Structure 1
């Protein structure tokens, strides 16, 4: 399955991953199940941000409230692997809810996209678009 990603969102994710290094960066993806229109960076509140990520709960609450009030839909989540590949880790696989959300992962200067499904992740192809 393919998704569209705005060039601005993709560039922002990679920039955030570089800026957060050696910690994991994280954030929320906005759009639809087939299109990422916007990326918003969030604080990584995990006690060990060099090894894992946890999106600031207040940012999640605010995003869900905005979506319920007619704001942009939550398409998924972003995080980086500062010392690993742009693919789901064992921790990602263990903790991801099979809710169909997109997971964007940055690692080794690359950005890749996956969908959280029953049994793990489905790899998504992506096309950069202006938007």
Structure 2
């Protein structure tokens, strides 16, 4: 299982996570799937509608429907979702597992770090990992970096 993630989309997700901290941020990943592999072509950020956005994320029903329609109209499919864990770790929580509803899709978790750059003098570098939801549990998947996302996104 591999998720192909363009470098610019990775940086946009981490920037979104830094901007939203200390609350969790979220969004949908659009692209194409091929068996166990998926390729992200665009991200669609969403407002976090959770009652406690510091510890949970939720995409509101109306916004989720609008984003799903936009993804479909662009000829893409939902390959996954992303959200942040502002204080880490870049692993699914028990709540994430209890509320996951899209089997076969990727769930990217971003930890923004303090400066986000991951430089040698940054004590808490950014982290981003992806997990595939089997319908019963999360399984770690490889994230392959690609050069650029779809310019028509």
Fold equivalence (TM over 0.5) = yes
Measure, in 1, the Cα distance between the counterparts of 2:58 and 2:102.
Answer: 17
Measure, in 2, the Cα distance between the counterparts of 1:54 and 1:65.
Answer: 18
Match of 1:129 in 2: 146
Mark the runs of 5 or more structure 1 residues left unpaired by the alignment: none
Match of 1:83 in 2: 87
The number of residues matched between the two structures is 131
Structure 2 residue 65 is matched with structure 1 residue 61: yes
- Contact kept, 8 Å, 1:79 with 1:104, in 2: the verdict is yes
Match of 1:22 in 2: 22
Give RMSD over aligned pairs: 1.5
Measure, in 2, the Cα distance between the counterparts of 1:91 and 1:75.
Answer: 21
Structure 2 residue 31 is matched with structure 1 residue 31: yes
Question: How is 1:4-19 mapped onto 2 (pairs within 5 angstroms)?
Answer: 4-19=4-19
- Bigger radius of gyration among the two: 2
Aligned with residue 107 of structure 2, among 103, 107, 112: 103
Mark the runs of 5 or more structure 2 residues left unpaired by the alignment: 114-125, 149-153
Greater strand fraction, Structure 1 or Structure 2 = 1
Aligned with residue 40 of structure 1, among 38, 44, 55: 44
Measure, in 2, the Cα distance between the counterparts of 1:67 and 1:79.
Answer: 18
CA displacement 1:7-26 (0-9 Å, x = unmatched): 11111000000110000010
What is the TM-score normalised by the length of structure 2? 0.79
- Contact kept, 8 Å, 2:107 with 2:133, in 1: the verdict is yes
